[in-house]
Amino acid sequence: MLIIESYTTAVILLIITMLCWGSWANTQKLATQKWPFQLFYWDYTLGIVVLSLIFGLTMGSNGELGRSFWEDLQQAEGSALRSAFIGGVVFNIANLLLVAAIDIAGMAVAFPVGIGLALVLGVVVNYVAVPVGNPWLLFGGVLLVTVAIVLDALAYRQKEKGASVSNQGLWLSIIAGVLMGFFFRFVAAAVATDFEYPQEGLMTPYTAVFVFSIGIFLSNFLWNTFFMYRPLKGEKVTYRDYFSQGTPRLHLIGILGGAIWCVGMSFSMLASEQAGFAISYGLGQGATMVAAAWGVFVWREFAEAPSKTQRLIYAMFTFFIVGLALVIMARII
Q: How confident is the model at residue 155 (pLDDT cuts 50, 70, 90)?
A: confident
User: Taking a C-beta distance cutoff of 8 angstroms, is the pair 84, 212 a contact?
Assistant: yes
Q: What is the pLDDT of residues 4-27, one digit of tens each?
A: 999 999 999 999 999 999 888 888
What is the identity of the amino acid at 313? I
Say which residues have a Cβ less than 8 Å from residue 144's Cβ, sequence separation at least 6.
319, 320, 322, 323, 326
User: Taking a C-beta distance cutoff of 8 angstroms, is the pair 93, 250 a contact?
Assistant: no
In total, how many domains does the chain have? Answer: 1
- Reported pTM: 0.91
Q: Is 51 helix (H, G, I), strand (E, B) or coil?
A: helix
Which residue segment(s) compose the domain that 268 sits in? 7-329
Residue 138 is predicted with a pLDDT of 94
Say which residues have a Cβ less than 8 Å from residue 173's Cβ, sequence separation at least 6.
98, 101, 105, 109, 110, 113, 114, 117
Instruction: Please name the residue ranges forming H helices in 106-231.
Output: 107-129, 135-159, 167-189, 205-229
Q: Does residue 2 fall inside a structural domain?
A: no
Q: What is the C-alpha to C-alpha distance for residues 209 and 56, in angstroms, rounded to an integer?
A: 9
Q: What is the C-alpha to C-alpha distance for residues 223 and 62, in angstroms, rounded to an integer?
A: 36
Q: Does residue 41 fall inside a structural domain?
A: yes
Q: What is the pLDDT of residues 231-248, one digit of tens each?
A: 987 889 999 999 999 999
Q: Does residue 310 fall inside a structural domain?
A: yes
Report how far apart, in Å, the C-alpha atoms of 267 and of each of 9, 19, 143, 162, 277 are. 10, 11, 24, 41, 12
Residue 301 is predicted with a pLDDT of 67
Q: Does residue 80 fall inside a structural domain?
A: yes
Query: Residue 203: what are its φ and ψ, rounded to 5°?
Result: -120, 160
